[in-house]
Amino acid sequence: MDQVVDGLNPWGPKLGDAADVLGAPLYLTGEESLLVTVFNGLAGVTVKISGRTLPLGATRPVPFKQTFTPTSNRAASTQLIPLGDGWLLNAEVIITAGSPLMGQTFAKMSLVRGLTSVAEDLYTLAADNVTAQQTCAWPGSGVQGSLDGAGALRSVTGTDPAAGAECSDTVPTGARWQLHAWNVQLVTSAVVANRAATIVIDDGANVLYQAGDGVVQTASTTIRHVFGEGVGFWGNPNGVFLGTLPQKLQLLAGWRIRTITQAIDVGDNYGPPQLLVEEWMEAS
């Protein structure tokens, strides 16, 4: 079909009949690029960016495609795709390698002016979590927040501390966690003392929450200390002490989940904590 060009129109060339079948194309002067920013927390992920443009003077859409591997440390990874002049018809981001859960990879597509790292952001086309089955697409996805919806459930194995040391695990940079459950095994030495293990949530400096499980652990015993959302205290001398966590406790990057143990001995030995968390990309 012929393209009608009207040089007197201050808004640029007209698409003519093509406008009726091409949805809501975005006019490009040739100075704009597509900037894709990805926040990813899973190793082995490959992202594909694809779409179509209608170059000025062309009568058929031209597809484009590019893949890249974002970092897996939740830092921003970017790809800049020159678009030429004409019209952007559609674009999408999808995972083509790796299996991130919803919440582990978040993508944003923007129209920017320029081709360098200081390109000016003009318009956010779309933003959403992406997986191998769910795209972030324009038009279609809209602009979603990285904290919207359910996060990715994760079972995290923390640091196994040295003998006599406390447990401590930190919410990683770029992540937001909701702590659902936490447990750790403590093997006490033969030194006689009543150990009282408590879980502590702090912001890296200030204690926000501290709770025990209501029972002391004596010498030469092995006890698993378990804390869960909304549960009460319960002590089973055969091996499990149960304590409570606040419900819907969300933690920012740099906040810590750790222990303070009254009467801990140099020979006492915590194992690695196991955390059940729900994680989102903070995308900040």
Partner 1 sequence: MTKCNACGGVYDTAQPDGTSYFHRCPPLSHSELDAAVKAGKVQLPAGETVDDAILRRTYERGNMRDENLVATSGPGAQQIKAAGDGTSNAAAAAGAGVVIVPK
Binding site for partner 1 (CB under 8 A): 39, 41-44, 71-76, 98, 104, 154-162, 164-170, 172-174, 202, 205, 253-254, 256, 258, 260-266, 268, 271-272, 282-284
Measured CA to CA, the distance from residue 46 to residue 95 in angstroms comes to 6
CB of residue 78 to partner 1, shortest distance in Å: 9
CB of residue 94 to partner 1, shortest distance in Å: 18
In sequence order, which residues have a C-beta less than 8 Å from that of residue 118 and are 6 or more positions away?
A: none
Q: Which is nearer to partner 1, 144 or 170 (CB)?
A: 170
In sequence order, which residues have a C-beta less than 8 Å from that of residue 189 and are 6 or more positions away?
A: 219, 220, 265, 266, 267, 268, 269
Q: Which is nearer to partner 1, 59 or 284 (CB)?
A: 284
CB-based burial, 84-122: b 16+ in 10 Å, e otherwise: bbbbbbbbbbbbeebebbbbbbbbbbbbbebeeeebeee
Q: Which is nearer to partner 1, 3 or 250 (CB)?
A: 250
CB of residue 194 to partner 1, shortest distance in Å: 13
CB of residue 85 to partner 1, shortest distance in Å: 30
CB of residue 222 to partner 1, shortest distance in Å: 12
Structure tokens at 269: 């030995």
Q: Which is nearer to partner 1, 141 or 261 (CB)?
A: 261
Count the Cβ atoms, other than its own, within 10 Å of residue 250.
15
Q: Which is nearer to partner 1, 53 or 77 (CB)?
A: 77
In sequence order, which residues have a C-beta less than 8 Å from that of residue 82 and are 6 or more positions away?
A: 33, 115
CB of residue 260 to partner 1, shortest distance in Å: 7
Measured CA to CA, the distance from residue 66 to residue 128 in angstroms comes to 19
